[in-house]
Structure 1
Amino acid sequence: MRRPFQILVICLAKYVECFQNVTVNLGYSQYRGQELSNGIVQWLGIRYAAPPVGSLRFAAPQDPERKEGVQTAFQHGCLCIPTDQYPIPAGTSEDCLFLDVYAPIRARNASKLPVFVFIQGGGFNADSNANFNGTGLIQASKTGIVVVNFNYRVGPFGFLSGSEVLKGGSVNNGLKDQLKVLQWVQTHISKFGGDPKHVVIGGDSAGAASITLLLSAYGGEDLGLFHAAAAESQSFATMLTINESQFAYNNLVIRTGCASEDDTLSCLRNLDTATLQRQNIGTPLPDAQKPPLYFYAPTIDGELILDYTYRLFSQGQFIKVPVIFGDVTNEGTTFVPKSISSVGEADTFIQSQFPAIQLDQLARINRLYLNQNQTMSFPDAGLYWRPTSNAYGELRYNCPGIAMSTAFSNAGMKSWNYHYAVQDPSSEASGEGVYHVVELNAIWGPQYVTGTPPPSYFTSNAPIIPIMQAYWTSFIKSFDPNPHRYPDSPEWKTWSGDGDSFRRLFIRTGDTKMETVPLNQRARCDYLISIGIALQQ
């Protein structure tokens, strides 16, 4: 029979062992995570780079400073400051370069679990999918993966460009933040039980656009930072060169009162955050009539981004790894103003997003999408809202996904494509349909995302969640969505093979199956892809 002293020693030993298991020494700092009752350990708010403030505003990310002692990693770090929101929203800050790690409790340095690094969306102007909880994915993987989420700089803090920024700072810093995270993963993820030689990047919307940019970064030079990629609703927006972006820098200098200074970049850096944020607004792009949905964006800088995405992939200048690309049925409905009630309003919206578009190209798009037979009536919406949404959705999301899958297939790489068509009754009634990145709820689990999931994901559409999670975690674990797919779910065949092409997975509750892209959509995408470079995509 054990004596009380022996029991105390055993209990203390177990406490120390548990404390050691959840405390990770990163060299520059030690972080103590939090063990949850579900068998997951989470480390929240780990600093992966120095605060990008003061002289580091508009600079490439730098290594974090050394900090003594053990830091508690129990709370998410601040999000990065978004565009077009003043005063500065609560919970956001310039000091925002933090990441979260989720891992099984028994993971050790030698575990070498596959790693999933998620890049959130937000149009490069907000961190819109922050603080997703990796618990659902880890449980779906049978505690076989490690999950990493992070913030990156957006708006002018991450994507201000111009000759002064190039000379005195750095451009495309939001993308460089992402690369900094991937480098951090290579150095440190083994301490959480992850395998730096088995890293899958995933992302939605601007996060999926980031995936295409990382795949083609430095002309497709493989730095060994990741080994497969899964992109949800890859976004192909207008991209400008540094010279073409100069207007945005000049306008910001003028609005902030820095135009009279000899060193305008130093003036911008010396502004307090609130003063700069007051002028952090979107304005029309050159030759456009109205501001675009997302004003700041990655810039063609001749180094990290050599050219338009379409051109780089058509030339084979991308990293060859297994990939997933895909989209939802109604990509454009949450972006296009519901009030659009004429062809003129529709064309103005499209031209404001893609100001390089020519009149003959607009005319062709009008014939494809905006004729009178395609108008639709929905509550509180103009007749041309849904036709314009269809045009914008395919132009920016659906057709680029088809192009990406084709590029990888042509390069001899395994490439999978999906069409997410899970219908929610309330969303169908409103006309939003299967809207942009709604599949995040199925991949992560509706209880593990931020925001409000459609109610049906807790009821009638709940059965789609284990199916999606199994495909995703199978891809994370094996670079293939099939080996660990959900029982009785269909084999997800590659985009092209055995003489069959343009085949993708149609995903709907109770009706998931392979389908071939309809000929009429293929024809529309053939045209939109053909003008992609002219539209600066």
Structure 2
Amino acid sequence: MLPLWIVSALSYATRAVSSAAGQHDPLVRTKNGTLRGLSLPAFGEELFLGVPFAEPPLGNLRLRHPVPYRSAWDGVRDATSRSVSCAGYAGFDQGLALGEDCLTVDIVRPAGAAAGDGLPVLVWIYGGGFTAGGSADPRYNTSYLVNASVEMGKPIIAVSLNYRVGGWGFLASRETVSAGASNIGLFDQRLALEWIHENIAAFGGDPSRVTIAGESAGAFSVGYHLVSRDGKSGGLFRAAILQSGTALGPALHSVADLDDTYQPIYDNVTRAVGCAGRDDSLQCLRDVPYEVLFRAFEPFVLTPIVDGDFLARLPSESFARGLVADVAILAGSNTDEGTATFFGPRGTLNRDADVRRLLAGMGSGLDDAAVRDLMRLYPDNPSLGCPFGTGPERFAENGRQYKRGAAIVGDEVIHAGRRWTTTYFATRHLGPGGRRRKPVYSYRFDQPPWDGVEPLVATTAPVFATHYAEICFVFAIDPAASRNLSNWIGPYPAYHQLARQMSRAWIAFVHDLDPNGHGTEGMPRWPEYSSCGAGENMVFRVDGNFVEKDDWRAAPLRYWGGIWEALKT
């Protein structure tokens, strides 16, 4: 069953196509030619869908960095339907039509927006563990954000981009490095941002007022854009929103350690499809039928590497050297990140020895001193474990020391990087005389899902304020259209009020670089993150938002920042 917002869009599309002359369909002239979009009068919006920013990555362009879309088309190109989503796996591909010809953007603007209007632009980069995702995912429907922005008197344009994931986007080996074909998915994102920079003015957007945003792998991606090119963003964005992820936390393999990490995966794939032993096995992969290669990639999780190009060094080294983009920041994390099924080590931690093995295996391998320190900072005391604030309950069906491990993993992957990143941006001084840094805002999302389940993320207890739980509140999809795969906010008015507050704060940040112009009731003023001492977070809860000093579990979070290099982040 299709989500209702898709049915609605298809209904409007049918009416638009069947109109006698299509005279009310919006037209925009891009660098490549004229696009005909889709009018949604009930929303007061115009959509331009499936717009290519790169040549289709098919045939000989498969498993290569994207090639800019330079073709010009005659006449008017239809932009009323989305492209397929890039081939993906692991659940977040559910409900998406998949394929290779996926390098497109979807654009939503207020009705009547026109070239020269100079509207701020939100660019959404989806998460999914670098393994799945797509702009067509109904959980990321930006129509409600654009609609709310107009109601607020702070109109914005929203752009969702597609990028290759899994083996299609992050295959790594000696062969891909030699061919200059590493981190393909990140280069897809960059090329999309370049296309937006060149073309968004024609849609009524301002290329100098772009905010890039993402959650989880999308937020990791945003973080990597902040440190790519030694922090020289080329004016592609002026602000960044990072939800449950930064450049600091996830381990990044390097070219030097490929033989022990991703090379065996590459070799497995080439054997599976009959390309092993070929003089050019990578070229052979380009000739393998799509369905065959899809199945060969399916078992493997592949993520970005330090390739010497997009990522010249570990992000922690870029931060240490001050080689980070000078932009405004809104960043946050969810209290119980570690309860996500793919983060929390469920069923594996029962004794101290199990926890020691977990710690010793992190990054490039933590030494005995670091393991001892962390065992002390994370004692076997369930009252201090994740989910936090749940007292002596151990949730022992997941392992007697599960809460201990969930705290460790959530902190290392998400929380410590968020605190380090916001502190860095708040305390940096750039230019002659210590020119004032850009605005920095931080949050902690502390609200469990209404029914105690987070689809695809944490479906069995414990869940609490887990990874991804904030997404439905940020996108604030109407309850009539937010069931099925779209991460339902729930039936209770307080939950929808929180969604209204959060989504409008995000819109205000995109528009003004200040989330306080949201125009809703029930929120205290969100302070900028302090440049002296601990900053402050906005804490989001349905029973009342409040501001806290960001010293929550200060000692363990501080410790991770001292061992970033060993963690390979």
Q: TM-score range by the shorter chain?
A: 0.7 to 0.9
Whether 1:50 aligns to 2:76 is: no
- Asked whether the 8 Å contact 2:270–2:285 carries over to 1, the reply is yes
Displacement after TM superposition at 1:359 (Å): 4.3
What root-mean-square deviation, in Å, do the aligned CA atoms of Structure 1 and Structure 2 show?
2.7
Residue 362 of structure 1: aligned partner: 371
Read off the aligned partner of 1:33 and give its amino acid letter: G
Displacement after TM superposition at 1:280 (Å): 1.0
Structure 1 window deviating more from structure 2 (135-144 vs 95-104): it is 135-144
Relative to the length of structure 1, the TM-score reads 0.87
Aligned pair partner of 1:141 in 139, 145, 149 = 149
- Asked whether the 8 Å contact 1:160–1:249 carries over to 2, the reply is yes
Read off the aligned partner of 2:398 and give its amino acid letter: A
Percent of aligned pairs with the same amino acid: 27
Aligned pair partner of 2:380 in 364, 371, 376 = 371
Aligned pair partner of 1:301 in 278, 303, 307 = 307
SS at match of 2:452: helix
Residue 36 of structure 2: aligned partner: 32
Displacement after TM superposition at 1:120 (Å): 0.7
Q: How many residues align?
A: 509
Residue 506 of structure 1: aligned partner: 539
1:166-211 deviations in whole A, cap 9, x for unaligned? 3324211111111111111111111211111111111111111111
Distance 1:264 1:257 in 2: 9
Whether 1:19 aligns to 2:32 is: no
Aligned pair partner of 1:493 in 504, 527, 549 = 527
Residue 253 of structure 2: aligned partner: 240
Distance 2:443 2:37 in 1: 36
Displacement after TM superposition at 1:305 (Å): 0.7
Displacement after TM superposition at 1:321 (Å): 1.0
Compared CA separation, residues 346 and 155, structure 1 to 2 (3 A): farther
1:30-79 deviations in whole A, cap 9, x for unaligned? 33211112201112222221111211112111123334343332322211
Displacement after TM superposition at 1:446 (Å): 3.5
1:413-462 deviations in whole A, cap 9, x for unaligned? 32111001123353289321011121111111134778342553654311
Structure 1 window deviating more from structure 2 (485-494 vs 119-128): it is 485-494
Compared CA separation, residues 84 and 503, structure 1 to 2 (3 A): closer
Compared CA separation, residues 92 and 189, structure 1 to 2 (3 A): same
Whether 1:273 aligns to 2:276 is: no
Distance 1:48 1:18 in 2: 25
4+ residue runs of structure 1 moved beyond 6 angstroms? 15-18, 87-90
Whether 1:402 aligns to 2:419 is: yes
Residue 150 of structure 1: aligned partner: 161
Residue 3 of structure 1: aligned partner: none
SS at match of 1:495: coil
Structure 1 segment 208-219 matched on structure 2, within 5 A: 208-219=219-230
Whether 1:193 aligns to 2:204 is: yes
Displacement after TM superposition at 1:352 (Å): 6.1
Displacement after TM superposition at 1:341 (Å): 4.5
SS at match of 2:46: strand
Read off the aligned partner of 1:522 and give its amino acid letter: A
Residue 506 of structure 2: aligned partner: 472
Residue 439 of structure 1: aligned partner: 470
Whether 1:115 aligns to 2:132 is: no
Displacement after TM superposition at 1:368 (Å): 2.9
Compared CA separation, residues 503 and 274, structure 1 to 2 (3 A): same
Distance 1:503 1:337 in 2: 30
Residue 257 of structure 1: aligned partner: 274
Distance 2:544 2:117 in 1: 37
Whether 1:177 aligns to 2:185 is: no
SS at match of 1:259: coil
- Asked whether the 8 Å contact 1:84–1:280 carries over to 2, the reply is no
Distance 1:384 1:117 in 2: 40
Structure 1 window deviating more from structure 2 (309-318 vs 392-401): it is 309-318
Residue 403 of structure 2: aligned partner: 386
Displacement after TM superposition at 1:282 (Å): 4.9
Distance 1:492 1:270 in 2: 54
Displacement after TM superposition at 1:377 (Å): 3.7
Residue 427 of structure 1: aligned partner: 452
Aligned pair partner of 1:461 in 487, 491, 495 = 495
Aligned pair partner of 1:416 in 441, 452, 459 = 441
Whether 1:228 aligns to 2:239 is: yes
Compared CA separation, residues 249 and 526, structure 1 to 2 (3 A): same
Displacement after TM superposition at 1:116 (Å): 0.4
Relative to the length of structure 2, the TM-score reads 0.83
Displacement after TM superposition at 1:373 (Å): 4.3
- Asked whether the 8 Å contact 1:23–1:32 carries over to 2, the reply is yes
Distance 1:259 1:220 in 2: 39
Residue 342 of structure 1: aligned partner: 350
SS at match of 1:510: coil
SS at match of 2:485: coil
